[in-house]
Amino acid sequence: MAAPVKPQKVTANGKDSWWAVPAIADPDAPTATEINALSGLNVTCFLLAEQEGVTGNTSKTELARLLCETSTTEGIDTTVWSMADLTGVFDPQAAAGADGKKAWALFKDGFTGYLVRRQGVVSTTDAAVQAGDFVDVIPVETGPATPSKTGTDASGIYAFTAAVAITGTPSFNVEVDPTS
């Protein structure tokens, strides 16, 4: 018998990056050019650390019992994909186009496209997706962003929240086209 395979443990703190990308031709084979395009935005440093990822809720159905059976089994039914609302920070007094308002400007009237998540790579503000990286590509539509703040005491910062609807089946852990 072969020895068991033991995967490496990869810590997650500070190693999730998110991009908002308006268009990807093939979500199963995105390109670095599409993800890093100027029409999108690396929103990693705008999102709060509590930002959760995608969840899938797959329902099961009880299959009909045959006359000759005394028990029955289950089958897999539909999967509902969901994601927590986006909560990002912004500077309400920053000039239009300033860094402090870039995410707000992208989400303020709603956004349709893709959220792309790269895991397992240290997040930095200038870290572009590279060909050969593995990413999750999530088709989304957001509602218009609503300005708010994270708290009313000294720890509060100005933020916005945008509702997120997943509009198709996510492509998880797909390789960024190595030729891009």
Q: In the chain, how long is the greatest CA-to-CA distance?
A: 73
Nearest CA-CA partner of 40 in 26, 24, 20:
20
Q: Render each residue's pLDDT in the chain as its tens digit; 180 residues.
A: 788 999 999 998 989 999 999 999 999 999 999 999 989 999 999 999 888 889 999 999 999 999 999 999 999 999 999 999 999 999 999 999 999 999 999 999 999 999 999 999 988 755 899 999 999 999 999 999 999 999 999 999 999 999 999 999 999 999 999 887
Q: Cβ–Cβ contacts within 10 Å for residue 88, how many?
A: 22
Rounded CA gap, 166 and 62, in Å? 27
Interatomic CA distance for residues 91 and 140, integer angstroms: 25
Q: Which two tokens stand for residue 77?
A: 């039914």
Residues 36, 41, 45, 46: what is their CA dihedral angle, to the nearest 10 degrees?
-170
Q: How far apart are CA 165 and CA 90, in angstroms?
A: 22
List the one residue out of 105, 107, 93, 91 whose CA is nearest residue 145.
107
- Which pTM was predicted? 0.91
Q: Which of 109, 112, 132, 108 is nearest to 120 (CA)?
A: 132
